[in-house]
Structure 1
Amino acid sequence: MRTERKPTRLDRVFARLDREPERPAHIDMPRMSRHRTVLFGSTLAFYVAIVWAVVITSWLVRLDWRVMFFRPYEQWAQLHAFVDYYVVLGQRGPTAVMVAAWLGWRSWRQHTLRPLLALGVSLLLLNITVGAAKYGMGRLGPHYATEIGSSEMWLGGSIFPSGHTANAVVTWGILAYLASTPRARRWLSALSAVTSLGVGLSTVYLGTHWLSDVLLGWVAGLLILLALPWFEPMIARAEDRIFDWRDRWRERRSARQGRTVPVAPLPAAAPVMLRPLTDREDTAVPEPVSASRSATRSPVYLAPGPHTGRAERTPVTPTGSRRPSHGERHPRGSAPSARP
């Protein structure tokens, strides 16, 4: 007998992704054009310039110290509560969950895994590049500075560049990168720029980052967004491999379900014979059991019933002796009649 397997939620998701995409046909994947390549090279040179300015303790470091001594969180104390909540837009966990939910819906609607894969690649690049720079340069933050006017480099810190700022640029900028229309791309680009700018200034306001940390964070996030077109072929191959794995998994499952499992027929139930009712019986009584079974059972003494004749009682002992007559005995194997 072949049993049909009920489709799971994963089966329904893949069945949805098998359909033709609903996005406009004129929307192509971004490519690394000459303009983008020039912009990427200029941004990389600016990144190196900021790092060099901090290493040699230039005017940028002196500006960092002036902003720190200004203490914005004391100058505008009424903004502290709002900034504490606003800076969450740069934390990796909450922002990644919100953006992944939106891009997951986009993947469902467009029947493609590219939005989620692009987000995963961008976050992976962010962790590698920004994390390596943080722990490689080891700069201390304003609250842990040891010497006034110094760059505080290579002292075991992990704030240069600002992770909140770079994460805000990448996480919200990926929405503009994956936009389906030019108008949506312009609006989302402006929104991500304002959000990341506010997150960077919020960290300076709270005193958790130097101003140069925020500058380098903006540049580091922009570099990742500009470099994403180089990873589009890898994203496409990863999507194809995921669907190939899905197809092989379906084939193996279909092969397992194709085997027939022999099922033994169920034995027919034995009919139950009932003895017809008599004038003294008001319930059906089953046929007596076999002699071999009844011989092994001990005698059953029924409750007192109406008076029956002596000849109707069966012997109780093997010798055939009979008990004294009892006025309320009835024949063995018969049910007592209903009392008035």
Structure 2
Amino acid sequence: MRTDIFARLDREPEPPKIEVPRMTRTRLALFGGTSAFYLAIVVAVLLSTWLVTLDWKIMLFRPYQQWPELHAFLDYYVVLGQRGPTAVMVAAWLGWRSWRQHTLRPLLSLGAALLLLNVTVGAVKLGLGRLGPHYATQVGSAELFAGGDIFPSGHTANAVVTWGILAYLATTPRARRYLSALSAVVALGVGLTTVYLGTHWLSDVLLGWAAGLLILLALPWCEPVIAVAEAWILGLRDRLREQLRARRRLVPSLPVAAGGPVPGLFPQRPTGAEEPVREKVGAGSGRAAAGRAAGLPTPPLAPPRTHHAVRSERSPVGPAGSRRPPHSRPATGG
């Protein structure tokens, strides 16, 4: 019996059909109220109202100097609002859920939410161009259209969307309540941490909370597009699988006998070269058998042919004795 975790996961029943959130009246009312709050914050900053004055009071108070013992911890805590690390962590969890539930909807929903976040928040940041507290030039000014990119707070909006998507994709009401509370605490803490560190105005954080909440509330409008994208991706996967199976069926399989040589590994002599020898041997044996049947004497067998060495293989033989001709006298001078 297999006891590993994958065997246990394979025996688990399939999850029930997941209900896709719809744009209900309550959600529409929340979307409208959050949109009004969003516009009110933008107008208040544009007109340099009391909200800008409050921004400057908090900035001059310098919370990071009032409570320096929190600085080390909050430097790490604010990472929960950075897009890169949080997107990787949440995508890993949603990828496991996609594999278990046999659907791409969790990952596609995260991708759609992050895409909306980059487009909407990025456009407002670049359009208003507000400078941060550390780069402010004039006390009491809203610091708009000065080439900055901090309004609304990207850390805050990303914390709302990245952790709120877990509550949006929850399959049970109980899990949705717990995850909603967890994401609200994380997003609230990340926003206030940026104010403590002096990297954002308070109005930046308020607008970041509203921007992230608007994206989560608008996600049901993206569900039809997510369903079409999922069907297209799964259809493409099935077509690729069929093509691979078809290619495997077209490859011929050559069976090899057990213990026999692999075909094509050792070259063999053509069969046509052996036929003349077989014919000669067969003809000679047939004539000998016919002679024995008729009572004729069997012709003697030809002696075996010996191998004669060619000239290049013979060893040179020299004449024996002296090479001088007989009865010759040595030539002398006397």
Would you call these one fold, judging by a TM-score over 0.5? yes
Q: TM-score, normalised by structure 1?
A: 0.73
Instruction: Tell me, in whole angstroms, the C-alpha distance in 1 between the residues paired with 2:175 and 2:183.
Output: 12
1:139 alignment partner, SS class: coil
Match of 1:173 among 161, 164, 186: 164
Q: 2:114 matched to which residue of 1?
A: 123
Of 226, 237, 240, which residue of structure 2 is paired with 1:246? 237
**How far apart, in 1, do the equivalents of 2:131 and 2:215 lie?**
24
In structure 2, how many angstroms separate the alpha carbons of the residues matched to 1:243 and 1:198? Answer: 39
Show the 5 A alignment for 1:127-276. 127-261=118-252, 265-266=263-264, 267=266
Q: State the 4+ residue runs in structure 1 displaced beyond 3 angstroms.
A: 260-265, 267-270
Q: 1:222 to 1:323 in 2, by over 3 A?
A: farther
Partner of 2:89 in structure 1?
A: 98
Change (3 A) 1:142 1:262: same
Amino acid paired to 2:14: E
Question: Residue type matched to 2:99 in 1?
Answer: W
SS at match of 2:148: coil
2:273 is aligned to none
8 Å Cα contact 1:21-1:111 kept in structure 2: no
Structure showing greater Rg? 2
1:117 CA displacement? 0.5
Change (3 A) 1:122 1:316: same
TM-score by length of 2: 0.74
C-alpha distance in 1, partners of 2:40/2:64? Answer: 29
Query: What is the aligned partner in structure 2 of residue 52 from structure 1?
Result: 43
What is the identity, as a one-letter code, of the residue corresponding to 1:204?
V
Give the Cα–Cα distance (whole angstroms) in 2 for the partners of residues 52 and 236 of structure 1.
37
Runs (5+) with no aligned partner, structure 1: 1-15, 271-290, 300-314, 325-340
Q: 2:58 aligns with which of 61, 67, 77?
A: 67
- In 2, Cα distance between the equivalents of 1:36 and 1:262? 61
In 1, distance between residues paired with 2:319 and 2:248? Answer: 71
Measure how far apart 1:34 and its partner are.
Answer: 1.1
Instruction: Provide the secondary structure at the position in 2 that maps to 1:258.
Output: helix
Contact in 2 for aligned 1:163/1:217 (Cα 8 Å): yes
Other-structure match for 2:331: none
Matching residue within 29, 40, 47 for 2:20: 29
How many Å apart are 1:109 and its aligned residue?
Answer: 1.1
Quote the offset at 1:59 in angstroms. Answer: 0.3
The percentage of aligned residue pairs carrying the same residue is 69
**Runs (5+) with no aligned partner, structure 2:** 1-8, 255-261, 270-306, 321-334
The alignment yields a C-alpha RMSD, in angstroms, of 2.8
Q: Which amino acid aligns with 1:62?
A: T
1:331 aligned residue = none
Asked whether the equivalents of residues 177 and 225 of structure 1 are also in contact (C-alpha less than 8 Å), the reply is: yes
Change (3 A) 1:237 1:316: same
Q: Deviations over 1:250-299 (max 9, x none)?
A: 222233333245979425668xxxxxxxxxxxxxxxxxxxx89x979x87
Number of aligned residues: 267
Secondary structure of residue in 2 paired with 1:254: helix
SS of residue paired to 2:78: helix
CA deviation string 1:34-71 (max 9, x = no partner) = 11111101101110000000000000000000000000
Q: Name the SS for the 2:56 alignment partner.
A: helix
Check 1:228–1:295 CA distance in 2 against 1; reply closer, same or farther (3 A cut).
farther
Structure 2 CA distance for aligned equivalents of residues 268 and 60 of structure 1? 91
Q: Indicate the residue corresponding to 2:315 in structure 1.
A: 316
CA distance in 2, matches of 1:166, 1:323: 115
Q: 1:142 to 1:316 in 2, by over 3 A?
A: same
Larger proportion of helix: 2
Query: Does the 8 Å contact 1:21/1:110 carry over to 2?
Result: no
Rounded Cα–Cα distance in structure 2 between residues aligned with 1:221 and 1:207: 21
Question: How many angstroms apart in 2 are the aligned matches of 1:80 and 1:189?
Answer: 27
Comparing 248-257 with 212-221, which one deviates more in the overlay? 248-257
Deviations 1:4-40, CA, capped at 9 Å, x for gaps: xxxxxxxxxxxx9xxx982223x41000011111110
Instruction: Report Cα offsets for 1:82-137 as digits up to 9, x if no partner.
Output: 00000000000000000001111111111111100000000000000000010010
Any conservation in 2 of the 1:21–1:112 contact (CA below 8 Å)? no
- Mapped partners of 1:295, 1:46: distance in 2: 113
Contact 1:23 1:180 in 2 (8 A): no
Q: Distance in 2 between matches of 1:167 and 1:90?
A: 6
Contact 1:316–1:322 (CA under 8 A) maintained in structure 2: no
